[in-house]
Chains A and B, each alone.
Chain A
Protein backbone atom coordinates (compact mmCIF):
# COMPACT_ATOMS: atom_id res chain seq x y z
CA UNK A 1 0.00 0.00 0.00
CA UNK A 2 0.90 3.67 -0.04
CA UNK A 3 2.62 5.36 2.85
CA UNK A 4 4.32 8.65 3.70
CA UNK A 5 6.91 9.04 6.42
CA UNK A 6 7.85 12.46 7.76
CA UNK A 7 10.61 13.38 10.13
CA UNK A 8 9.38 13.49 13.66
CA UNK A 9 8.82 16.84 15.27
CA UNK A 10 8.44 19.15 16.82
CA UNK A 11 11.06 21.30 15.14
CA UNK A 12 12.10 24.57 16.79
CA UNK A 13 14.23 27.09 14.90
CA UNK A 14 15.35 30.65 15.30
CA UNK A 15 14.21 33.24 12.78
CA UNK A 16 16.31 33.22 9.57
CA UNK A 17 17.51 29.65 10.16
CA UNK A 18 17.52 27.05 7.37
CA UNK A 19 14.67 24.57 7.39
CA UNK A 20 14.56 20.98 6.18
CA UNK A 21 11.64 18.66 6.83
CA UNK A 22 12.25 15.18 5.48
CA UNK A 23 9.57 13.21 3.67
CA UNK A 24 9.87 9.78 2.09
CA UNK A 25 7.14 7.75 0.45
CA UNK A 26 6.18 4.27 -0.66
CA UNK A 27 3.79 3.92 -3.56
CA UNK A 28 3.20 1.89 -6.67
CA UNK A 29 3.34 3.71 -9.96
CA UNK A 30 4.06 7.41 -10.21
CA UNK A 31 2.27 9.41 -7.54
CA UNK A 32 1.96 13.15 -7.31
CA UNK A 33 3.49 14.65 -4.19
CA UNK A 34 2.26 17.57 -2.11
CA UNK A 35 3.17 19.66 0.90
CA UNK A 36 0.27 21.16 2.82
CA UNK A 37 0.52 23.63 5.70
CA UNK A 38 -1.94 24.00 8.55
CA UNK A 39 -1.87 27.14 10.67
CA UNK A 40 -3.43 27.00 14.15
CA UNK A 41 -7.22 26.80 14.02
CA UNK A 42 -7.34 26.53 10.24
CA UNK A 43 -7.72 23.95 7.50
CA UNK A 44 -4.94 22.68 5.27
CA UNK A 45 -3.54 24.86 2.51
CA UNK A 46 -1.51 23.63 -0.42
CA UNK A 47 2.06 24.88 -0.11
CA UNK A 48 3.57 23.26 -3.20
CA UNK A 49 3.37 20.17 -5.37
CA UNK A 50 5.28 18.09 -7.92
CA UNK A 51 3.69 15.65 -10.31
CA UNK A 52 6.65 13.81 -11.84
CA UNK A 53 10.22 12.82 -11.10
CA UNK A 54 12.75 15.67 -10.88
CA UNK A 55 10.01 18.30 -10.74
CA UNK A 56 10.65 21.05 -8.23
CA UNK A 57 7.71 22.65 -6.48
CA UNK A 58 8.18 26.09 -4.96
CA UNK A 59 6.08 28.70 -3.20
CA UNK A 60 6.69 31.48 -0.64
CA UNK A 61 10.39 30.60 -0.41
CA UNK A 62 9.72 26.91 0.21
CA UNK A 63 11.02 24.29 -2.21
CA UNK A 64 10.82 20.52 -2.62
CA UNK A 65 12.16 18.26 -5.38
CA UNK A 66 10.53 14.97 -6.40
CA UNK A 67 13.35 12.41 -6.14
CA UNK A 68 12.22 9.06 -7.50
CA UNK A 69 15.56 7.35 -6.92
CA UNK A 70 15.39 8.05 -3.18
CA UNK A 71 11.54 8.19 -3.01
CA UNK A 72 11.81 11.52 -1.24
CA UNK A 73 10.22 14.97 -1.30
CA UNK A 74 12.03 16.98 1.37
CA UNK A 75 10.79 20.48 2.17
CA UNK A 76 13.36 23.27 2.45
CA UNK A 77 13.40 26.98 3.12
CA UNK A 78 16.50 29.11 3.31
CA UNK A 79 15.37 31.58 5.96
CA UNK A 80 12.31 30.89 8.11
CA UNK A 81 10.12 33.54 9.69
CA UNK A 82 7.98 33.50 12.82
CA UNK A 83 4.94 33.44 10.54
CA UNK A 84 6.05 30.04 9.17
CA UNK A 85 5.16 28.42 12.50
CA UNK A 86 2.59 25.77 11.59
CA UNK A 87 2.11 22.04 11.02
CA UNK A 88 3.44 20.74 7.70
CA UNK A 89 1.99 17.62 6.04
CA UNK A 90 3.59 15.69 3.21
CA UNK A 91 1.06 13.82 1.07
CA UNK A 92 0.79 11.73 -2.07
CA UNK A 93 -1.96 10.92 -4.54
CA UNK A 94 -1.69 8.15 -7.07
CA UNK A 95 -2.49 9.10 -10.66
CA UNK A 96 -5.84 7.34 -10.84
CA UNK A 97 -6.92 7.30 -7.24
CA UNK A 98 -8.98 9.74 -5.27
CA UNK A 99 -7.47 9.16 -1.86
CA UNK A 100 -4.61 11.20 -0.46
CA UNK A 101 -2.12 9.55 1.84
CA UNK A 102 -0.77 11.94 4.47
CA UNK A 103 2.29 11.81 6.64
CA UNK A 104 1.87 12.33 10.38
CA UNK A 105 2.73 16.02 10.16
CA UNK A 106 5.67 18.02 11.50
CA UNK A 107 5.12 20.92 13.86
CA UNK A 108 7.44 23.85 13.21
CA UNK A 109 7.93 26.63 15.73
CA UNK A 110 10.06 29.62 14.75
CA UNK A 111 11.25 31.86 17.57
CA UNK A 112 12.21 35.51 17.10
Chain B
Protein backbone atom coordinates (compact mmCIF):
# COMPACT_ATOMS: atom_id res chain seq x y z
CA UNK B 1 0.00 0.00 0.00
CA UNK B 2 1.76 3.14 -1.22
CA UNK B 3 -1.16 5.47 -0.84
CA UNK B 4 -1.98 8.51 1.24
CA UNK B 5 -5.71 8.99 1.63
CA UNK B 6 -7.50 12.20 2.56
CA UNK B 7 -11.08 12.90 3.55
CA UNK B 8 -13.22 14.68 2.68
CA UNK B 9 -12.43 15.36 -0.96
CA UNK B 10 -14.39 18.63 -0.89
CA UNK B 11 -15.45 20.78 2.06
CA UNK B 12 -17.51 23.95 2.17
CA UNK B 13 -17.70 25.75 5.51
CA UNK B 14 -18.80 29.04 6.95
CA UNK B 15 -16.49 31.28 8.92
CA UNK B 16 -18.03 30.22 12.22
CA UNK B 17 -17.91 26.47 11.59
CA UNK B 18 -15.54 23.91 13.06
CA UNK B 19 -14.42 21.11 10.79
CA UNK B 20 -11.58 18.62 10.48
CA UNK B 21 -9.52 17.24 7.63
CA UNK B 22 -8.21 13.70 7.90
CA UNK B 23 -5.18 12.00 6.39
CA UNK B 24 -4.06 8.38 6.62
CA UNK B 25 -1.08 6.35 5.44
CA UNK B 26 -0.09 2.73 6.02
CA UNK B 27 3.43 2.78 4.62
CA UNK B 28 5.09 2.92 8.02
CA UNK B 29 6.26 6.46 7.38
CA UNK B 30 7.26 8.40 10.48
CA UNK B 31 7.01 11.90 9.02
CA UNK B 32 3.72 13.51 7.98
CA UNK B 33 3.08 16.94 6.52
CA UNK B 34 0.30 19.42 5.88
CA UNK B 35 0.59 21.73 2.88
CA UNK B 36 -1.68 24.48 1.57
CA UNK B 37 -1.84 25.01 -2.18
CA UNK B 38 -3.45 27.95 -3.92
CA UNK B 39 -4.37 27.74 -7.59
CA UNK B 40 -1.39 27.76 -9.96
CA UNK B 41 1.07 27.92 -7.05
CA UNK B 42 3.42 25.40 -5.45
CA UNK B 43 2.46 23.77 -2.14
CA UNK B 44 3.30 25.81 0.96
CA UNK B 45 4.40 23.87 4.02
CA UNK B 46 2.23 24.35 7.10
CA UNK B 47 3.20 21.65 9.61
CA UNK B 48 5.54 18.68 9.95
CA UNK B 49 5.08 15.81 12.39
CA UNK B 50 7.95 13.47 13.12
CA UNK B 51 7.31 10.35 15.20
CA UNK B 52 3.93 11.80 16.15
CA UNK B 53 5.43 15.00 17.56
CA UNK B 54 5.09 18.42 16.00
CA UNK B 55 8.45 19.27 14.48
CA UNK B 56 7.76 22.31 12.30
CA UNK B 57 5.03 24.95 12.45
CA UNK B 58 5.54 27.46 9.67
CA UNK B 59 3.96 30.30 11.65
CA UNK B 60 0.49 29.11 10.75
CA UNK B 61 -2.45 31.01 12.31
CA UNK B 62 -3.99 29.32 15.34
CA UNK B 63 -7.28 28.82 13.52
CA UNK B 64 -5.48 25.79 12.02
CA UNK B 65 -4.74 23.14 14.64
CA UNK B 66 -2.90 19.94 13.67
CA UNK B 67 -3.11 16.65 15.52
CA UNK B 68 -1.32 13.34 15.06
CA UNK B 69 -3.22 10.69 17.08
CA UNK B 70 -0.94 7.86 15.94
CA UNK B 71 1.74 7.12 13.39
CA UNK B 72 -0.78 6.49 10.59
CA UNK B 73 -3.18 9.38 11.10
CA UNK B 74 -2.93 13.13 10.76
CA UNK B 75 -5.75 15.58 11.34
CA UNK B 76 -6.11 19.28 10.68
CA UNK B 77 -8.76 20.99 12.80
CA UNK B 78 -10.27 24.15 11.35
CA UNK B 79 -12.05 26.90 13.26
CA UNK B 80 -13.06 30.46 12.43
CA UNK B 81 -11.48 30.38 9.00
CA UNK B 82 -11.39 33.28 6.58
CA UNK B 83 -12.35 33.23 2.89
CA UNK B 84 -8.67 33.59 1.98
CA UNK B 85 -8.06 30.19 3.59
CA UNK B 86 -9.89 28.60 0.66
CA UNK B 87 -7.36 26.33 -1.03
CA UNK B 88 -6.36 22.73 -1.70
CA UNK B 89 -4.98 21.16 1.47
CA UNK B 90 -2.49 18.40 0.82
CA UNK B 91 -1.24 15.80 3.21
CA UNK B 92 2.07 14.05 2.57
CA UNK B 93 4.27 11.47 4.27
CA UNK B 94 7.86 10.30 4.02
CA UNK B 95 9.96 7.64 5.70
CA UNK B 96 11.80 10.01 8.01
CA UNK B 97 11.66 13.79 8.37
CA UNK B 98 15.42 14.27 8.11
CA UNK B 99 16.13 11.76 5.32
CA UNK B 100 16.22 14.15 2.41
CA UNK B 101 16.95 11.44 -0.14
CA UNK B 102 13.43 10.12 0.26
CA UNK B 103 10.51 11.49 -1.64
CA UNK B 104 7.26 12.63 -0.15
CA UNK B 105 4.06 10.77 -0.96
CA UNK B 106 1.12 13.11 -1.41
CA UNK B 107 -2.57 12.52 -0.93
CA UNK B 108 -5.18 13.76 -3.43
CA UNK B 109 -6.02 16.75 -1.25
CA UNK B 110 -9.12 18.32 0.25
CA UNK B 111 -10.58 21.23 -1.71
CA UNK B 112 -11.70 23.69 0.98
CA UNK B 113 -14.05 26.60 0.33
CA UNK B 114 -14.72 29.09 3.12
CA UNK B 115 -17.83 31.20 2.61
| A interface, CB within 8 angstroms of B | 31-32, 34, 36, 42-46, 49, 51, 87, 89, 93-100, 102-105, 107
Interface residues, chain B, with chain A CB atoms under 8 Å away: 4, 6, 31, 40-43, 45, 48, 50, 55-56, 90, 92, 94, 97-98, 100-109
Q: Is the CB of B55 within 8 A of A98?
A: yes
User: Are B98 and A96 in contact (CB-based, < 8 A)?
Assistant: yes
The docked-state distance in angstroms from the alpha carbon of A45 to that of B106 is 7
Across the interface, name the chain B residue whose C-beta is closest to A30. Answer: B100
B100 touches A31 (CB 8 A): yes
Give the Cβ gap from A35 to chain B, nearest Cβ, in Å.
10
- Identify B108's interface contact among A43, A87, A103, CB under 8 A: A43
Are A98 and B42 touching (Cβ within 8 A)?
no
CA A93 to CA B100, docked complex, whole Å: 5
Q: Are B45 and A100 closer than 8 Å at their CB atoms?
A: yes
Residue of B nearest to A6 (CB): B42
